[in-house]
Structure 1
Amino acid sequence: MASRSVFEIVVLAAVVVLYFLPALIADKRRRHDLLIIALFNAVLGWTVLGWLLALFWSFQPNPPEDLGGQTKTRSRRIGMLVFSRRLDDRVHAREARAAERERSSR
């Protein structure tokens, strides 16, 4: 009788570990949103789809911490690149016009 209850405890522990596997993987990968993944897993993990979504989510890379700042910096870089290209085009066009005037005046 005692061996059966030990077996049941081991099986129960294995089932609980398997159930919370997405949260354990997220913890091992040091996800910033570990608590959200664990809560999602605890609430919706009983559905196969919820457990699979939590597992998929736990394998995703960490989102950037300062997404707004990165977007602003990237936008600023693109704006400066466009500005530089247009300025360069204007300088080349001005030089071409000056060279054309010089040729036509001769």
Structure 2
Amino acid sequence: MAYATLDQLKAQVSTAFADDDDLLQHYLDAAEEYVRGFLADDPEADDPPSPVPDTVNQATLLIAAAWYQNRESVVNTSRGSLLPEEIPYGAHQLLNQVRGWAFG
């Protein structure tokens, strides 16, 4: 069981074509590794929580979609910051709600 599915990510980025499926799956896998490392005491654990909390699912989708849509760090000046953001706003807030749980 994964934190999110390819179909969920395709809905997140509003695409129905299959041309980028491999690339989207790559970003989804990388986002899941990032989330697992952020949350778990043991990032090598294979089994995600069952059922996957909605916050973990949404954070995984936010991260994967941001990486797919931007493909590099984003400078968000709307909040007055000129620092690049590698993880989209909101993802860490969602993950912090469940950080420290033992997954796997």
Normalised TM-score (structure 2): 0.28
Q: Which has the higher contact order (CA 8 A, sep 6+)?
A: 2
Q: Which has the higher helix share?
A: 1
